[in-house]
Amino acid sequence: MNFENLIYEEKDKVAWITLNRPEVLNALSMKLSDEFVAAIEIVRESKKLNFLVIKGAGDNFCVGDDITEMPRWGDANLIMRRARYYQNMANQLEELDKITIAAVDGYAVGGGLEITMACDFVIATERSKWGMPEVDVGITPGWGGTTRLARLIGRRRAKEINILAALHPGKKAVEWNLWNRLVPNDQLDSEVDKLLEVLKTKNQQAVRQLKFIINRGVECDLYTAQGFEALSAGLTAAVNGFWKVRDADQAKGIMGFLRKDGLWETRRGLAKNFWVY
């Protein structure tokens, strides 16, 4: 696919998405947003990719939605539809069965910050700045600035970030568990490469399962989350060779259905009318 406002590359199981509107600090125009959605879908569908790195062209990550285009968004219903479109974009990014890394330089504010919140790892430069300045434009965030942010740093700090709308140094994002690491301004790319080097050595199926159970478990009660952990433990054993359970079918039930053999006839014969009255 040919993109106009972003650069998409694949190399050695890694997809690289570069938001490419440096003249406006990589503001998310409607065109760029559509291309970002399309690029995420390419990554989602891929069976050969294990990682995704998102960065911004120039010296900035992303300053969020292109405010100059907002008069074109339409009426209140159409604006709500666009917010849900962006929410789905962030959800798709968060749900990828690949490890995602946001490489942040310069500004990551508004929608730019919301992108980082949907990624698994965030590495940023020492000069980076972040915040949610929407309130000073008279609007509110639409796809993570209040929801994911509150889950990551707590409601009190989320209120501070959104209502006061200050721009904070990257150091505070690390201290508040919003981002992972800060690096010197000239070492962002090398640190991303080092992280990828470590991640590539892992059991990728285990990594996929860990991402899934952590993301899902944090949104539910402890016992339900522990259920995900237990099922993941069983799946881990199975995919590592310990899959035979003595009283499991080992596909005999499926093959019985296909062949309509004795096992299928016995099971259905006993079950289909049991306690049916």
pLDDT at 272: 93
| Token pair recorded at residue 166 | 């200050």
CA distance 29 to 82: 12
CATH 3.90.226.10 residue ranges of the chain are: 6-200
Is 265 marked active-site?
no
Given the residues 45, 114, 175, 229, select the one marked as catalytic.
114
Asked whether 256 and 264 are in contact (CB, 8 A), the reply is: yes
Is 134 marked active-site?
yes
pLDDT at 250: 85
| Burial group, residue 241, by CB count within 10 angstroms (0-12, 13-18, 19+) | exposed
pLDDT at 277: 86
Scan for tokens 């259920």, then name that residue.
227
Question: For every one of its 277 residues, what pLDDT tens digit does the chain have, with 9 covering 90 and above?
Answer: 789 999 999 999 999 999 999 999 999 999 999 999 999 999 999 999 999 999 999 999 999 999 999 999 999 999 999 999 999 999 999 999 999 999 999 999 999 999 999 999 999 999 999 999 999 999 999 999 999 999 999 999 999 999 999 999 999 999 999 999 999 999 999 999 999 999 999 999 999 999 999 999 999 999 999 999 999 999 999 999 998 888 888 889 999 999 999 999 999 999 999 999 8
pLDDT at 241: 92
What CATH number is given for 6-200 in this structure?
Answer: 3.90.226.10
pLDDT at 183: 98
pLDDT at 197: 98
Given the residues 23, 134, 160, 197, select the one marked as catalytic.
134
CA distance 156 to 86: 25
Could you tell me whether strands 14-19 and 121-125 are parallel, antiparallel, or unpaired per DSSP bridges? unpaired
For the stretch 146-159, what's the b/e string if a residue is b when 16 or more beta carbons lie within 10 angstroms of its beta carbon? bbbbbebbeeeebe
